[in-house]
């Protein structure tokens, strides 16, 4: 057997001796300064059962200690992390990656065939530069739309938390805050994610995490193309403060000519306007749920036309995102929309009864009590509502109908101003 420590030097030549592990960013931790313990031939690989060098470290404060689980040969064959067995490029399980790339890499599971397969893989890895995957994975296409949509762009350090304290679950933990384990309620034992196997994850079968991600990929939203052919603008959201105009242009120029690029720094978004509708459709198709710049996944949507924004402005109590807003107490109600034509506008500015005669003239306001009435010619302003009696001369007639007292030519101020001219 390969795990024997006897005098069989042939098997001992196949044992692995490494200086540094192959890890993903999540397993390595957020602390750039970590200490690792190295144990030469410390354990056997859980896939090929050959002894290999085991590394052990703590990825950060209040995190559990982690160690390598498989040898580097098995890690390079599948291009996965030695600890979590997730793909190094996308951060996804092997089953999801192989489904997205449409490959089927059958690794033998019997001891003899597994040993022979591993030796051939080591020979192929030795002949390569060591930076790219080998086998069927090395010949697979470079990317897939489903993988780009599901790929994790930032480390998920929550995965490094300690395990749940079994004594605390039974109510018997006496260490309190000094306990290195989590004092939380355990998950449902019937949950499929609670039953994970490292070999099933490596071989890409019966992986509950992969099944959950594949179901999410089948229900992911799609970006519908607007019917208005004049829309050639794309909305890019979630930019943050680190993405510049040049970086946006470097991504979108490959789809067609860009007319304008507008960045709204306060809202952390941008608007990319293309010269043609065909270029905008191609950019939307290739960038929706797949655009990653500076490690940030950006939101790509279609812009709205001016007509659509004008109609939405009349919606009462509806925000730009389409959610219903509660009315604010104390504020006046919404004003009615303006009439379509000027001819349709009503002329009843004083809210008079429509049944009264429109030829009402010389409505004088009575003086306040205790004040003598003014002499003739200096009375209160008159409201002229109609045309009774002889009309005034042409030079004194104001343009249009008289509606307000300030437009009355009989007032003293208007008369004096006219004589002053």
Give per-residue pLDDT as tens, 189-216. Answer: 777 777 788 988 998 888 899 998 888 8
Q: Which of residues 318 and 55 earns the better pLDDT score? A: 55
User: Averaged over 60-65, what is the pLDDT?
Assistant: 91
For tokens 């930019």, the residue is 239
Question: Based on the number of CB atoms within 10 Å of its own CB, is 14 exposed (0-12), middle (13-18) or buried (19 or more)?
Answer: middle
Q: Is the pLDDT of residue 401 over 50?
A: yes
Q: Work out whether the CA dihedral 120, 124, 126, 127 comes out positive or negative.
A: positive
| pLDDT (0 to 100) of residue 357 | 52
pLDDT value of residue 201: 92
* Residue 381 predicted with pLDDT over 70: no
The pTM score is: 0.56
**What confidence tier does 22 reach under pLDDT thresholds 50, 70, 90?**
very high
CB atoms within 10 A of CB 272: 28
Question: pLDDT tens across 237-291, in order?
Answer: 888 888 888 888 888 888 888 988 888 888 888 999 999 998 898 888 888 877 8
Residue in 299, 296, 302 with CA at minimum distance from that of residue 274: 302
The pLDDT confidence band at residue 403, using thresholds 50, 70 and 90, is: low
Position 53 scores a pLDDT of: 94
pLDDT of residue 183: 92
pLDDT digits (tens, 9 = 90+) for 90-118: 899 999 998 888 888 777 877 778 878 88
**Domains of the chain, start order:** 11-220 (no CATH), 233-306 (3.30.70.330)
**Per-residue pLDDT, 314:** 45
SS3 string of the chain? Answer: CCCCCCCCHHHHHCCCCCCCCCCCHHHHCCCCCCCEEEEEEEEECCCCCCEEEEEEECCCCCCCCEECCCCHHHHHHHCECCCCCCECCCCCCHHHHHHHHCCCCCCCCCHHHHHHHHHHHHHHHHHCCCCCCCCHHHHCCCCCHHHHHHCCCCCCHHHHCCCECHHHHCCCCCCHHHCCCECCCCCCCCCHHHCCCHHHHHHCCCCHHHHHHHHHHHCCCCCCCCCCCCCCEEEEECCCCCCCHHHHHHHHHHHCCEEEEEEECCCCEEEEEECCHHHHHHHHHHHCCCCEECCEECEEEECCCHHHHHHHCCCCCECCCCCECCCCCCCCCCCCCCCCCCCCCCCCCCCCCCCCCCCCCCECCCCCCCCCCCCCCCCCCCECCCCCCCCCCCCCCCCCCCCCHHHCCCCHHHHHHHHHC
Task: Evaluate whether 272 touches 261 at the Cβ level (below 8 Å).
Answer: yes
pLDDT of residue 240: 81
pLDDT of residue 81: 94
Is the model's pLDDT at 386 over the cut of 60? no
Residues 6+ apart with CB under 8 A from 218: none
The CA distance from 126 to 124, in Å, is 5
Lowest mean pLDDT among 101-115, 119-133, 327-341, 356-370: 356-370
pLDDT at site 55: 96
Segment 307-323 shows an average pLDDT of 51
- 343 pLDDT higher than 70: no
Q: Is the pLDDT higher at 386 or at 73?
A: 73
Identify the pLDDT of residue 92: 92
Taking 50 as the threshold, does the pLDDT of residue 383 lie above it? Answer: no
């Amino acid at each position: 057997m390969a795990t024997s420590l006897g005098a069989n030097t042939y098997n001992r030549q196949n044992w692995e001796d490494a200086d540094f592990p192959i890890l993903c960013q999540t397993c390595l931790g957020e602390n750039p300064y970590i200490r690792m313990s190295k144990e030469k031939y410390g354990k056997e690989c859980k896939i090929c059962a050959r002894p290999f060098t085991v590394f052990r470290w703590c990825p950060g404060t209040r995190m559990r200690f982690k160690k390598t689980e498989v040898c580097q040969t098995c890690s390079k064959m599948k291009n996965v992390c030695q600890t979590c067995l997730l793909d190094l490029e996308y951060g996804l399980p092997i089953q999801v990656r192989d489904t997205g790339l449409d490959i089927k890499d059958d690794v033998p599971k019997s001891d003899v065939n597994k040993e022979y397969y591993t030796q051939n893989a080591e020979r192929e890895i030795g002949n390569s530069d060591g930076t790219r995957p080998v086998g069927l994975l090395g010949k697979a296409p470079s990317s897939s739309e489903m993988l780009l949509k599901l790929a994790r762009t930032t480390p998920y350090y929550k995965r490094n938390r300690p395990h749940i304290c079994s004594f605390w679950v039974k109510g018997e933990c006496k260490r309190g805050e000094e306990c290195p384990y989590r004092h939380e309620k355990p998950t449902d034992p019937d949950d499929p994610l609670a039953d994970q196997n490292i070999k099933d994850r490596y071989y890409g079968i019966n992986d509950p995490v992969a099944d959950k991600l594949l179901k999410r990929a089948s229900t992911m939203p799609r970006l519908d193309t607007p019917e208005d052919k004049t829309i050639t603008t794309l909305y890019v959201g979630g930019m943050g403060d680190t993405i510049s105009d040049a970086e946006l242009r470097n991504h979108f120029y490959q789809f067609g000519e860009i007319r304008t690029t507008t960045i709204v720094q306060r809202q952390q978004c941008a608007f990319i306007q293309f010269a043609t509708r065909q270029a905008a459709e191609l950019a939307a198709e290739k960038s929706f749920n797949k655009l990653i710049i500076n490690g940030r996944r950006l939101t790509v949507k279609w812009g709205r036309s001016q007509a659509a924004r004008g109609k939405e402005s009349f919606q009462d109590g509806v925000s730009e995102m389409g959610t219903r807003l509660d009315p604010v107490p104390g504020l006046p109600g919404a004003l009615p929309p303006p009439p379509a034509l000027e001819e349709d506008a009503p002329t009843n500015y004083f809210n008079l009864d429509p049944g009264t005669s429109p030829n009402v003239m010389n409505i004088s306001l009575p003086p306040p009590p205790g004040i003598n009435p003014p002499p003739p010619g200096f009375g209160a302003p008159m409201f002229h509502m109609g045309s009774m009696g002889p009309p005034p001369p042409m030079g004194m007639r104001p343009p249009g109908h008289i509606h307000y007292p300030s437009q009355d030519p009989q007032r003293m101020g208007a008369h004096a101003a006219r004589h002053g001219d």
